[in-house]
A and B are shown apart, each in its own frame.
Chain A
Amino acid sequence: RKEVEQDPGPFNVPEGATVAFNCTYSNSASQSFFWYRQDCRKEPKLLMSVYSSGNEDGRFTAQLNRASQYISLLIRDSKLSDSATYLCVVSNQAGTALIFGKGTTLSVSS
């Protein structure tokens, strides 16, 4: 299994749709989990941290299932401005670095 695996997409959805991204990770010792957003030819920006209890930030909800080593991101009421690549990110076993997935591309159309 790859260290961090994501469906590359692209996911093409209309405005207002709900879309979910999934991610699996291989190292059961990982302690930190994040979702980043990367716009075309720009740097990644932190979208949200992911906690075991799940967390929500406006239209975005992140879930973590440690037993299945699975992370999800749900975007409700999609906006045109949500179009970007979403990176699933997990800490390494030593807790000294982050491992980035290749990203899932979202395209929201009007």
Chain B
Amino acid sequence: DGGITQSPKYLFRKEGQNVTLSCEQNLNHDAMYWYRQDPGQGLRLIYYSQIVNDFQKGDIAEGYSVSREKKESFPLTVTSAQKNPTAFYLCASSIAGGRMNEQFFGPGTRLTVL
């Protein structure tokens, strides 16, 4: 089955620790995205990548880092510099192109900082 997987589903972290969230897709999509969603809020873009070995900051990149070494994978690291990391993290992918195409989402990771 084609799709996007994220792991883990739930993640607990102590303050001051870095943590990496996994995102893998087998849809052969060029573009991948990371969003954060807080309760009652819309999705906010953290980072995005339109091609392997290239990525751009979104609206709230501070305290986060990413890599795109493979087309299928776009891991997100939440660093200790992120002041309020507890949130629902969503990864998405889309076919890249001149026109913004629809994005498809993974099931998300709920991160809680203790």
Q: Which residues of A contact B (CB under 8 A)?
A: 4, 31-32, 34, 41-46, 49, 87, 91-92, 95-98, 100-103
Contact = CB atoms under 8 A, between A and B. Distances in A.
A46 B102 contact: yes
Contact of B100 (A96, A101, A102): A96
A46 B90 CA distance: 14
Interface of B: 33, 35, 40-43, 45, 48, 50, 56, 58, 88, 90, 98-108
Chain B binding surface, main DSSP class:
loop
Q: Classify the interface of chain A: helix, strand, loop or mixed.
A: loop
A97 B58 contact: yes
B48 A97 contact: yes
Contacts of A103: 42
B25 to A, nearest CB: 13
A79 to B, nearest CB: 23
